[in-house]
């Protein structure tokens, strides 16, 4: 799970940290319900079993320089913030710097101008932040089952593709999982989410990390646009952090439970790999009956089987 790619989306970093806290304390060995927040939507024991079925890798802040820079300026800042030789900040939109159809696509929201808000970088993985995450994800393959990228604040659960409007090979399954996650999320605090492919649900977004993760074989790749309690408000109030964390955790746990069910109780094979067929058990053979011959005086023979 990766958060903080867009530096000004502070609620994603807060939610990721809240989820880590729940994993460490709220889903402990005793199976007790989380102590923070108001109303868990699912039994603690069910959460615990699902959480412990997977090994979690959480990046609470993928873009630390941009995150710090976003506190120093009132303008929205999605990008990294490395200064150029001339002292001018040339920013790169971290989300668009992944090596899957990164180059400008007709109808997309990327640009080639290095100071523009949607500049995807001079080349795929041109930024240290994207390289670090990409290298880490590649090292986890082939065991990585799920990739989730947190964003705000459109209230959506999204999946590939963002680079084109063609449906992905797993569109129906991803839509089903996303819809169940959105329903589970809504049951927590009544927040409604829209579910669908990135390109047709929000906008064209070539070079995004979800497309890239899916393209390297991580079948269950999602982006979550977290809640927006006030229309057009980019920064979620501090009072909404716990509620956002609760419903986000519920959606993620639901996604993981759905994936675990599809892969089998043992975790299944890595995404994109053929399932190993179990060897057919050998049926034990009955011992062959012994045959005894009895010779009579008249020359005839009886054969007794026993």
Distance of CA 263 to the CA centre of its chain: 15
What angle do the packed helices 171-189 and 241-263 form, to 10 degrees?
A: 140
Q: Is 246 a catalytic residue?
A: no
User: Before 157, cis peptide (omega within 30)?
Assistant: no
Residues 9, 127, 225, 250: which is the catalytic one? 225
Residue 125's φ and ψ, nearest 5 degrees, are 60, 40
Residue with tokens 């079993």: 49
Q: Do the Cβ atoms of 65 and 81 come closer than 8 Å? A: yes
Distance of CA 259 to the CA centre of its chain: 10
Residue with tokens 């994936």: 259
Q: Do the Cβ atoms of 225 and 116 come closer than 8 Å? A: no
Q: How far is CA 300 from CA 100, 289, 290, in A?
A: 88, 22, 20
Catalytic residues: 225
């Amino acid at each position: 799970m990766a958060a903080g790619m867009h530096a000004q989306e502070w609620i994603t970093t807060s939610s990721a940290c809240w989820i880590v806290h729940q994993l460490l304390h709220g889903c402990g060995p005793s199976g007790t319900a989380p102590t923070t927040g108001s109303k868990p939507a699912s039994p603690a024991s069910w959460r615990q079993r699902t959480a412990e079925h997977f090994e979690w890798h959480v990046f609470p802040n993928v873009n630390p320089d941009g995150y710090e820079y976003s506190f120093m300026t009132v303008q929205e800042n999605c990008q990294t913030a490395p200064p150029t030789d001339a002292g001018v900040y040339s920013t790169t939109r971290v989300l668009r710097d992944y090596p899957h159809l990164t180059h400008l696509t007709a109808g997309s929201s990327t640009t080639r101008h290095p100071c523009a808000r949607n500049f995807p970088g001079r080349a795929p993985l041109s930024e240290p932040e994207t390289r670090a995450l990409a290298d880490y994800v590649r090292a986890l393959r082939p065991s990585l089952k799920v990739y989730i990228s947190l964003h705000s604040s459109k209230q959506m659960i999204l999946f590939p593709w963002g680079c084109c409007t063609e449906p992905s090979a797993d569109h129906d399954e991803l839509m089903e999982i996303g819809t169940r996650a959105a329903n589970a999320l809504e049951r927590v605090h009544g927040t409604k989410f829209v579910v669908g492919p990135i390109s047709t649900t929000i906008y064209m977004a070539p070079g995004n990390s979800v497309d890239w993760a899916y393209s390297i074989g991580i079948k269950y790749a999602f982006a979550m646009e977290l809640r927006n309690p006030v229309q057009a408000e980019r920064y979620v109030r501090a009072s909404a952090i716990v509620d956002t964390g609760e419903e986000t955790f519920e959606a993620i746990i639901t996604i993981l439970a759905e994936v675990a069910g599809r892969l089998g109780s043992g975790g299944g094979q890595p995404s994109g790999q053929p399932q190993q067929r179990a060897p057919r058990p050998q049926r034990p053979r009955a011992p062959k009956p012994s045959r005894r011959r009895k010779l009579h005086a008249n020359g005839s023979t009886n054969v007794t089987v026993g």
